[in-house]
Structure 1
C-alpha cells in the first residue's frame, strides 16, 4: 500500500486539495478530525485545562478552541506544550487507522496533516505532497476564514515552519495561489503523475 502524506501551512488550501483527492476515491486520514476527537478523552481535556487554565473552558466544561488558539499561536512555548500533550495520542490513532486501511486491502492511503514534517511522520510515509501559496493570498484566506486581523493571521503563519523549509521535504509540490478550478486541474495532473510513477 502506498502511504502518502499531504501537508501545507495554514491558509494554503490543504483541506481543499484533500477534498478533491477524496472525491477521486483516495482514502483520507484527516489529522484535524482526529485532533478534535482527542479532546473527547476526558484525561486529555483535564491535562489541557490544568496547564492552560480556566480561560479556555466553556461554561459547559467543553474546550473553547478559539481561546486556546489565541494563547498557543502567540506563545511558541505554549504551542510546544499543547503538542506534547496531544500529539502522541494523535499519532497512535493515525498509525492505527493506516493499519486498518491496509487490512481492508486499499492500494493508497493519504494522511492529511499540517504537522507531518514537524511531527516526525516522514518515516512512515512513502511520498509527501506539499501544498504552498503566495503569502499575501495565505494572509487573506486566513483573515476571511477566521474573521481575524492581519496580525493574528501572521501570528498563525509564524507559529509554523516556513513554506520554503517545508517544501524541502516534498516529493511533489502543488502551488495553490489561484482558484479552486486551477487547483482541481493541478490535482488531476498529480493523480496522473502518481499513477504513472508511484503506483505499481
Structure 2
C-alpha cells in the first residue's frame, strides 16, 4: 500500500487533483468529509455550544459552519481549542480508513503540516496556484473575499515552509487539461509503487540460483536479488524429501510479477518450481523511489521535486 498526503494552497485545487487520481484508481480519504461528519455528532456539537453558545446553530439544531469559522479564526485561542477538538479524531478516522484500503491511497488533508504528517504517509504532494486564481475559485464556490482568505491563512504555517517540506509540488496555474497532464505522470508512478512485493523461489544449486537471479535482474523485472543456502523438508510424490537448496528472494513490484514468473518458469530446472509473492505492507520512501528509478524505465520528471 502506498499513501499520498495531498495538501496545498487554500483554493489551490486539491479536490480537483484528488478526483483525477480517483479516476486513475486511487482510493481517496477526505479529511474535510470526516470533519463534516463530526459536526453532525452530538458530542462535538455539545462541546461547541458549551464554548460558543447556541448562536452557532441553525433553527434545526445543525451547526452553521460560517459562524464557527468566524469565531475560530478571530482569536488564536479559539482556533487552537477548535483544532484540539476536531483534529485528533479526524486523524484517527483517516488512519482507520487508510489501513482498510489497498493499492494506492490519497489522503486529502488541507492542514496536513499544521496537524503533523502522520507516520503512514509515504509522500506529500502540494498543490499550488496563483493568488488571483485561488480568489476567483473561492469567491465562486464559497463566497469568500481576499480578507477572509488572508484571515484563514494567517493561522496556517507559511506557504514556503510547506512547499519545502513536500516531495512534489504541482503548479495548478493553467487549464484543466494541463492539470490533468501534470497529475497523470505522478498517478502512473504511484500506481506502479503501490504494491511492492518480495518473490521467493528455491533452486537445486547455487549455480542455478545465480543464473535465475541474473536473468531476472538483466530483464529489469526486479531491482535486487538475494541468494542464500537453505535446508528444505517437503513432500514430493508421496515421500518426504530432505534437501540442501538455494533460495532466491527478489525485490520488485506487483505489476512485474507475471513477467518475473515467466522468466523463472522458463529457466528453472524443477518440474514444479514454487514461486511465492509476499506483499510488503510498508517500505521506506527512498527504497520506493529506487524501485521506480530502476524498474519503470522512466525518469522522475512528472513534477517539481522538493
Q: What TM-score comes out, normalization by structure 1 length?
A: 0.90
Corresponding residue of 1:22 = 22
1:160 to 149, 156, 166: 156
Corresponding residue of 1:98 = 98
- 1:150 paired with 2:153, answer no
Q: Which has the larger radius of gyration?
A: 2
Corresponding residue of 2:51 = 51
Corresponding residue of 1:38 = 38
Q: Give the SS at the match of 2:115.
A: coil
More strand as a share of residues? 2
Instruction: Tell me, yes or no, if the aligned pair for 1:4 and 1:126 is still in contact at 8 Å.
Output: yes
C-alpha spacing 1:73/1:140, structure 2 compared with 1 (3 Å): farther
Corresponding residue of 1:172 = 168
Instruction: Tell me, yes or no, if the aligned pair for 2:2 and 2:103 is still in contact at 8 Å.
Output: yes
1:186 Cα offset (Å) = 0.7
Corresponding residue of 1:130 = 126
Corresponding residue of 1:63 = 63
Corresponding residue of 1:116 = 112
Q: How many residues align?
A: 196
C-alpha spacing 1:78/1:120, structure 2 compared with 1 (3 Å): same
Task: Kindly report the root-mean-square deviation, in angstroms, between the aligned alpha carbons of the 2 structures.
Answer: 1.8
Instruction: Tell me, yes or no, if the aligned pair for 1:4 and 1:111 is still in contact at 8 Å.
Output: yes
Q: Give the SS at the match of 1:3.
A: strand
Which fold has the larger relative contact order, with Cα–Cα distance below 8 Å and residues 6 or more apart in sequence? 1
1:182 Cα offset (Å) = 1.4
- 1:185 paired with 2:175, answer no
Q: Give the SS at the match of 2:4.
A: strand
Mean Cα deviation higher: 29-38 or 177-186: 177-186
Unaligned segments of structure 1, at least 5 residues: none
Mean Cα deviation higher: 70-79 or 59-68: 70-79
1:34 Cα offset (Å) = 0.7
C-alpha spacing 1:54/1:28, structure 2 compared with 1 (3 Å): same
Mean Cα deviation higher: 28-37 or 127-136: 127-136
Rounded Cα–Cα distance in structure 1 between residues aligned with 2:55 and 2:180: 41
Unaligned segments of structure 2, at least 5 residues: 196-252, 254-306
Instruction: Tell me, yes or no, if the aligned pair for 1:143 and 1:153 is still in contact at 8 Å.
Output: no
C-alpha spacing 1:113/1:26, structure 2 compared with 1 (3 Å): same
Rounded Cα–Cα distance in structure 2 between residues aligned with 1:166 and 1:143: 24
Instruction: Tell me, yes or no, if the aligned pair for 1:139 and 1:154 is still in contact at 8 Å.
Output: no
